[in-house]
């Protein structure tokens, strides 16, 4: 019974980790692509300040993706 409960907890943690990692990275990467797209459009329309803002959003989103990947690898290899 105790063993089953422990596996249930591990399974729940697997579900949460999978959802958070996959959805989080997908969202962040989508935001990065949105930022790049907006940067291109705004630069073409000669709105440098707004373009810089979009580029900043894209950079932060990409940094989040990179950080998530590094964190994932550290967690995996630390087991």
Partner 1 sequence: MSSDVILVIVIVTALAFDFTNGFHDTANVVATSISTGAARPQVAIGMAALLNFVGAFISISVAATVANDVVNAEVITPTIVFAGLIGAIAWNLATWYFGLPSSSSHALIGGVVGSAVAAAGFDAVLADGLVGKVLVPALVAPVLAFLVAGLGIGIVYRVVGKQRPGIVTRGFKYGQIVSGGLLALAHGTNDAQKTMGIITLALIANGSLGADADPPLWVIVSAAAAIALGTYSGGWRIIKTTGTRIIKMDAAQGFSSQGAGASVILASTHFGFPLSTTHVINGGVMGAGAGKRLSAVRWGVAGNIVTAWVLTLPAAAAIGALTYGVTRIFGTGALGPVVVSLMAISLIVAAFARRAQQGAPVPASSG
Beta-carbon contacts of 13 under 8 Å, excluding residues fewer than 6 positions away, are none
Entry field: residues in the chain: 79
Among residue numbers 17 through 76, which ones bind partner 1 (CB under 8 A)? 17-19, 21-23, 25-27, 29-34, 36-38, 40-41, 69, 72-73, 75-76
Residue 64 burial by Cβ neighbours in a 10 Å radius (0-12, 13-18, 19+) = middle
Would you say 8 or 48 has its CB closer to partner 1? 8
We find the least distance from the C-beta atom of residue 52 to partner 1, in angstroms, to be 18
Residue 43 DSSP one-character state: H
We find the least distance from the C-beta atom of residue 48 to partner 1, in angstroms, to be 19
Question: Is 79 one of the binding residues for partner 1 (CB under 8 A)?
Answer: yes
């Amino acid at each position: 019974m105790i063993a089953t409960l422990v596996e249930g907890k591990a399974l729940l943690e697997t579900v949460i980790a999978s959802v958070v990692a996959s959805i989080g990275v997908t969202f962040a990467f989508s935001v990065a692509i949105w930022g790049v797209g907006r940067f291109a459009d705004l630069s073409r329309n000669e709105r440098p300040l707004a373009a810089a803002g979009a580029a900043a959003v894209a950079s932060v989103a990409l940094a989040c993706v990179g950080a998530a990947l590094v964190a994932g690898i550290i967690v995996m290899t630390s087991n």
